[in-house]
Amino acid sequence: MNMKPIQSPSSNSTPRYNLAINPPYQINYRAKRAGKHITATKRRITFQFGFSSAENIAAGRTEADCRGEEHEVVLIWSHITGKRQLYMDGREFHHSKAARGNTRFEHSWSITGNHVLKIIANGTPPMGEAARAMHRQFDLELDGMSFFSFCKIYELGTTASAGSAATGGAALSRRERNDDYAAAALPALTYSYRGAAYDARDDNDYEEEDVQESPMPVVTVPPPGSLLTSSTVNHP
């Protein structure tokens, strides 16, 4: 299926989604150990998500036919140097450095439509109460909603889609079905941004325990950085 790029709203203040009409959806997620010599010393975290098409949902379409504007957020985090780099749709917009041994990173930024994204990263998986509360080692929040509560592609345009993001979504054990839609429905584009020094050969190595084994799909994205607001880019 070939998708045409979604036209940008006429105003930067126009909301990108409405939970009751066109909720956000998740495409894919990957957390990779990416150190050159000691793999655990660097992480590359990738989130792919989209804002579903209100027009197609209103027309009665469902599932992959409701896919809309899609984006990719990448965090490159070195535990040795403390360097953190954030990219959105191929554009680096945040670059910072923490003390050696820092085990947590959080950063929030505004995007067009008056929305706020926040990435949360922990050096180790959550334990105890945090683990029981379903807190994840890595997460991306949109206006306070976890990426993992976004609608699945197979829910778009169905009665389940309106409440999925607000109520936590379908069971995680059903993720495989969403993965199938993500891989099958995407056009054969060549662009997919993974961060600095990305090597496709790394895809077969060093997978995190909670990450799927299938290759990351290519997403339909707007021009680099087009969703970022003018005040977002941060270079010390």
Per-residue model confidence as pLDDT tens digits over 96-119? 998 777 789 999 999 999 999 999
pLDDT tens-place string over residues 176-202: 455 555 544 444 333 344 433 333 334
Nearest by Cα to 30 from 171, 224, 179: 179
pLDDT at 83 over 50: yes
Mean confidence (pLDDT) of the chain? 73
pLDDT at 144 over 90: yes
Residue 58 region by backbone torsions, left for phi larger than 0, else alpha for psi between -120 and 50, else beta: alpha
Confidence of residue 8 (pLDDT cuts 50, 70, 90): very low
**Rounded Cα–Cα distance for residues 146 and 81 (Å):** 28
Do residues 75 and 198 make contact, with C-beta atoms less than 8 angstroms apart? no
Collapsed DSSP state (helix, strand, coil) of residue 24: strand
How far is 131 from 201, CA to CA, in rounded Å?
32
Burial class (CB in 10 A: 0-12, 13-18, 19+), 138: buried
Measured CA to CA, the distance from residue 210 to residue 215 in angstroms comes to 14
Sign of CA dihedral 44, 73, 216, 213: positive
